[in-house]
Amino acid sequence: MLQPINELRRFHHQVYEVGVFDPDLMYVECKHCGRPVLWSKGRTSEILKGVDVARAELDASCMILTHGCPRCEPGERQFRLQIIRVDGGYAEDAKEQLVAHA
C-alpha cells in the first residue's frame, strides 16, 4: 500500500555509523529443522544486551542458531540460542566457532 510522502515523514529514521555492523541484520536459523527464523525488528539487539559478547566481535560472518522453532516444536515459546561465526560452508559442524550462548 502506498502512503503519501507527508505520512512517511512521521517515521523515525535511525542513522547508523558507516562501517559498523548492524547485528539486527544477522541471519537466524533453526538448528533442528534448518528453516529461517523471523522475529520482530530490534529483537537481536535486545538479546545481545543480555549476552556477554562485544558488538565489535560481530560481523557479517556471524549468525544465530535457535535450538528449535515454533514450526518444529509447536507450543514452545523460548529456545536456546547460539551465536556462531561461519567459516565457509557452515553445514560442517567442525567449522562452527561458538561466539556466545543466549
Q: What is the pLDDT of residues 37-46, one digit of tens each?
A: 998 889 988 8
Of residues 101 and 69, which shows the higher confidence score? 69
**How many structural domains does the chain have?**
1
* Residue 91 CB neighbours (<10 A): 9
In a domain, 8, yes or no: no
pTM for the complete prediction?
A: 0.66
Q: What's the CA gap between 49 and 60, in Å, rounded?
A: 19
In a domain, 14, yes or no: no
User: Would you state the pLDDT for residue 15?
Assistant: 54
- If you average pLDDT over residues 12-23, what whole number do you get? 66
Range of the domain at 83: 22-101
Q: What is the pLDDT of residues 44-95, one digit of tens each?
A: 888 888 888 888 888 888 999 999 998 998 888 889 999 888 876 554 553 4
> Cα angle vertex 72, ends 67, 74, to 5°?
105
